[in-house]
Amino acid sequence: MKIAIIGGGAAGFFAAIAVKSNYKDYEVVIFEKSNTVLSKVKISGGGRCNLTNAIDSINEFASAYPRGEKFLKNAFRIFNNKHSIDWFQSHYVPLITQDDNCVFPASQNSQSIIDCFLRETKRLGVLIQTNIEIKEIKQIPNQFELYFKDHEIEAIVFDKVIVTTGGSPNGENLAWIEKMNHKIIPPVPSLFTFNMPSENITQLMGIVIENALVSFENSKLKANGPLLITHWGMSGPAILKLSSFGARILNDLKYDFNIQVNWINIVNNNIVFEKLTEISQSNQHKQLANFRAFMLPERLWLFLLEKCNLSSSKKWGEIGKKGINKLTNILTNDVYSVKGKTTFREEFVTCGGVSLENIDVNTMQSKNCKNLYFAGEILDIDGITGGFNLQAAWTTGFIAGKLG
């Protein structure tokens, strides 16, 4: 039995290893169009590879996927984050779990994951072919013919095919899959940062607010967590999470919109007003510059004072109810204009791909084409930052590798 894996990334390698672990006598070949396998794993997590997340609840874990939550909730009952952690540790990759539940190799180096996969595929006898791009798959009775782009290799026949080509920013790259009677959800970027070319807040680049709440104007979508001010705008987990859940909305808006920032993540303005009133009464003779409310970073505090026209040399006891209202509003509902996005090209994540309507969650087999399987970002599945996208690759790759 000959099995082709199209795509040498995270899902492709995990699927290949799963196939050979289940069927030792099967011939398994990974085809990778570039000259390097696992390139996205290499740069994942800033080169440290955030390979999963340690959240206990399957329901909570699945909620981290703007697209694919229900599908993955079922898939995780077959292979989930706990299984991934056990798998890597049993394959000689010690792991560490951070306070935020992100799981990394103890080496803090993605090469540990790559070495593990290369070691395991070599041990199992998986053949890896690089610089070979598939241009078309033709189904023949009970088998598939694979045709190669810009290559003199004739069509090769395989019994089963697992497609793990990853996310694609260009829908045209998925045309050959659509041709095989699959519904394609148009891909658009997910997990990106916000550009703010007209906003002076970029002067505060490098400042991190540990727990901000961000939202879009005229939308119920919200996200909280660390927020990083950059020289181009805003980034950090809160922004990336918001961009993920709002990916299609923001694409429709052509990335021209306003963002609302609650710097202190307190949604009840009355509580904020009362706290500021208490500070004002207790520190009447202190200058605003010398007593920062809610322990905000000094540069940000001074910036916000200036933005709401409150002199930093003014004393707390002098700002009155009007000044407290100004501070309450800017702390909980600060508005910035976003004009564009920044996507880190090597780490791009897209929403869209092969519709989950076409996939059997218990096998990852196409409902429209027997013996054709899909795994990883080629599916209309994407998660927020924190190890969730790689976990989807492990889960779908493992299930596809059962060849059920």
Q: How far apart are CA 19 and CA 17, in angstroms?
A: 5
Q: Which amino acid is at 358?
A: N
Is the domain spanning 192-342 CATH 3.40.50.12500? The answer is no
- Assess contact for 311 and 350: CB atoms under 8 A: no
Separation in Å, CA 88 to CA 62, 103, 336: 21, 11, 43
Token pair of 327 as six digits: 């501070």
196-207 burial: b if 16+ Cβ within 10 Å, else e: beebebbeeeeb
Q: How far apart are CA 127 and CA 32, in angstroms?
A: 11
Q: Which amino acid is at 166?
A: G
Token pair of 287 as six digits: 């200058």
Query: Rg (Cα) of the chain, in Å, rounded?
Result: 25
Sequence-distant (6+) residues with CB within 8 A of 57 are none
Q: Would you give the distance in Å from CA 145 to the centre of its chain?
A: 34
Q: How far apart are CA 99 and CA 112, in angstroms?
A: 21
Q: How far apart are CA 4 and CA 24, in angstroms?
A: 15
Q: How far apart are CA 233 and CA 227, in angstroms?
A: 11
Q: What does the pLDDT read at residue 345?
A: 54
φ, ψ dihedrals at 318, nearest 5°: -100, -10
- Assess contact for 54 and 103: CB atoms under 8 A: yes
Q: Which residues pair with 335 in a beta bridge?
A: 260
- Assess contact for 289 and 302: CB atoms under 8 A: yes
Return the CATH number of 2-189+346-400, one of 3.20.19.10, 1.10.3720.10, 3.50.50.60, 3.30.1280.10.
3.50.50.60
Q: How far apart are CA 32 and CA 165, in angstroms?
A: 8
Q: pLDDT tens, position by position, for the chain (404 residues)?
A: 999 999 999 999 999 999 999 999 999 999 999 999 999 999 998 899 999 999 999 999 999 999 999 999 999 999 999 999 999 999 999 999 999 999 999 999 999 999 999 999 999 999 999 999 998 899 999 899 999 987 777 899 999 999 999 987 777 778 889 999 999 999 999 999 999 999 999 999 999 999 999 999 888 999 999 999 999 999 999 999 999 999 999 999 999 999 999 999 999 999 999 999 999 999 999 999 999 999 999 999 999 999 999 999 999 999 999 999 999 999 999 999 999 999 765 557 889 999 999 999 999 999 999 999 999 999 999 999 999 999 999 999 999 999 99
Coil vs helix vs strand at 4: strand
DSSP string, 155-224: PEEESEEEE-----S-GGGGHHHHTTT--EEEEEEES-EEE-TT-GGGGGTT-EEEEEEEEETT---EEE
Coil vs helix vs strand at 375: coil
Number of Cβ within 10 Å of residue 289's Cβ equals: 14
What global pTM score does this model have? 0.92
Q: What does the pLDDT read at residue 347?
A: 52
Closest CA to 381 of 396, 402, 401, 370: 396
Q: How far apart are CA 290 and CA 202, in angstroms?
A: 23
Q: What does the pLDDT read at residue 105?
A: 98
Q: What does the pLDDT read at residue 344?
A: 65
Would you say the CATH fold of 192-342 matches that of 2-189+346-400? no
Q: Where are the domains of the chain?
A: 2-189+346-400, 192-342
